[in-house]
Amino acid sequence: MVALVHSGAVLGIDGYPVEVEVNLSQGLPGMSIVGLPDAAVKESSDRVSAAIRNTQLSLPVRRITVNLAPADIRKEGSAFDLPIALGILAASGMIDNEKLKDWVILGELSLDGRVKPVRGGLSITAMAREKGMKGVLLPAQNAAEVSVIDDIPIYAIENLPQALDFLCGELELQPVKPETQKEISSPSEYELDFTDVKGQHHVKRALEIASSGGHNILLIGPPGSGKSMLAKRIPTILPSMTQDESITTTKIHSILGQLKNGLLNLRPFRSPHHTISDAGLIGGGRVPMPGEVSMAHNGVLFLDELPEFKRNVLEVLRQPLEEGEVSISRAAGSVTYPANLMLVAAMNPCPCGYRFDPKRECGCTPPNIKRYVGKISGPLLDRIDLHIEVPALDYKDLSSESGGEPSAAIAQRVEQARGVQLHRFQNSENNFNSNMNAKQLKAFCDLDEASKKIMAMAIDKLGLSARAHDRILKVARTIADLASSEHVESEHIAEAIQYRSLDRESWF
């Protein structure tokens, strides 16, 4: 007898349906799993057999063949344990096949029959809703993350006998109550605040501009000047995530099994160490998995001590910074993960860190400085919109008891500027000034004669590339939005040019 159980798996960040077919036949007792299973799936046979026996259920003394369709896509993980077990019970006559129809089932089984959480629960549940399935049965520990999905009944299962009784109609369960996203009314949900930062007013201004337009930013300053402190407070001034942004971000973390409290409401802040590999940053593995750039999707990726990262690691950032996504190809297949992030990087001006410091002497030679700064390629620097110098604070600023402007006040201005951009790009896939294409630059960054003269002088003296020219226009557009100006004026262009420190000859 053949039984069919519907389940699912994840490819990229989206779920796709998997049919678990179970056949009982004459022959030596045993279980074989086909359909390109990986090692974890093949080991399901031992887990499923032990779980059935240890819950006082009857394991058929027959030849059991399990097929995972479509058979041309490699299956990985332990989410097929529960559907395989229920398929065996259905094939042996303990469950009516009709009662399994249109249910999507997933879960890992322990040897005593308990159902453990799995990765990708949110993506598979969203797929089940799109396919018009009757409902979803999944582990109780996955209930929090999928509770945001509505229009489809979701039932949390604790163990194998409970799933069996529910499908046979002998146990009544209440579906998981859908939960709506919690709105973040203010940055008070964060432990950090910009009011803790003393001085550095021009740096805060630059971070406000970067946050308003989704621009990438590089902070340059000596050790102890507050670069990391400033960077860690950027999420407190970013707008709250929308429902769609929360779901997409949660899907990525669900795939990696890193969810703890269900739907993610706070924008992610990722700060990998400089020893990270290119696969760890961009994603990869035998079966491609998301990397740090995807985990920072809709949030901030902070790279401290930027020149200390390996050059090949930094170069892989080009595609996600330009396109907002990353494509990874392996023998097992090719997947695309979203990576729409705000890059924040920090570095010292020289190997010792005290170049340009009026109180400390720098012992670095010009070749050492050039070699140090040269670790960051020109194409990567061109993709960073703002280069900001962060000087060391003097005693007057450090001893001041008055705090800086709170994050809530800055966040209001950022929210207003982003609202202008959402209205401007309402008929486009782009939402931020930083992602404007050539056509949009021409339409929304038309310069007057005074602005053109300032731009021409900057290009001649700084030797800016075409990409750097466009970056200045995008930053100027954001500055104009913060000033509630319909047009980009000369003062906006002048301020934007000031945020290109590494384009100046004095750096090399």
The per-residue pLDDT for 55 is 93
Alpha-carbon distances of 410 from 196, 207, 343, rounded to whole Å: 14, 10, 19
Domains of the chain: 2-167 (3.30.230.10), 187-424 (3.40.50.300)
| Token pair in block for residue 333 | 């297949």
pLDDT digit string, tens, across residues 369-407: 888 888 888 888 888 999 999 988 776 666 666 667 889
The per-residue pLDDT for 183 is 41
Q: Which residue has the higher pLDDT, 128 or 467?
A: 128
Q: How far apart are CA 326 and CA 308, in angstroms?
A: 23
The per-residue pLDDT for 185 is 36
pLDDT above 90 for 73 = no
Q: Confidence band (pLDDT; 50, 70, 90) for 319?
A: confident
Largest CA distance in the chain: 88
Nearest in space to 203 (alpha carbons), one of 410, 357, 477, 473 = 410
Q: How far apart are CA 434 and CA 323, in angstroms?
A: 11
Quick one: angle between helices 490-498 and 449-462, nearest 10? Answer: 20
pLDDT, average across residues 283-290: 83
In this structure, of 148-162, 250-264, 307-321, the range with the lowest mean pLDDT score is 250-264
Strand-pair category, 30-34 with 269-270: unpaired
pLDDT, average across residues 333-342: 88
Q: Confidence band (pLDDT; 50, 70, 90) for 259?
A: confident
pLDDT, average across residues 328-339: 82
| CB of 314 closer than 8 Å to CB of 292 | no
| CB of 21 closer than 8 Å to CB of 132 | no
> Which H or E run includes 10?
strand 2-11
Q: Confidence band (pLDDT; 50, 70, 90) for 195?
A: confident
Q: Angle at Cα 457 formed by Cα 322 and Cα 208, nearest 5°? A: 45
pLDDT above 70 for 181 = no
Q: How far apart are CA 351 and CA 368, in angstroms?
A: 7
In this structure, of 335-339, 420-424, 455-459, 483-487, the range with the lowest mean pLDDT score is 455-459
Count CA atoms within 13 Å of residue 446 on its CB side: 4
Q: Classify residue 117 as exposed, middle or buried by CB count within 10 Å of its CB (0-12, 13-18, 19+).
A: buried
Lookup result for tokens 């559907």: 83
Q: Confidence band (pLDDT; 50, 70, 90) for 184?
A: very low
Q: How far apart are the first and last CA of the chain?
A: 76
Q: How far apart are CA 73 and CA 91, in angstroms?
A: 25
Q: How far apart are CA 269 and CA 253, in angstroms?
A: 13
Q: How far apart are CA 121 and CA 108, in angstroms?
A: 12
| CB of 249 closer than 8 Å to CB of 255 | no
Q: How far apart are CA 455 and CA 300, in angstroms?
A: 30
Q: Confidence band (pLDDT; 50, 70, 90) for 507?
A: low
- Written as one letter, the residue type at 214 is G
pLDDT, average across residues 101-114: 93
pLDDT, average across residues 172-198: 68
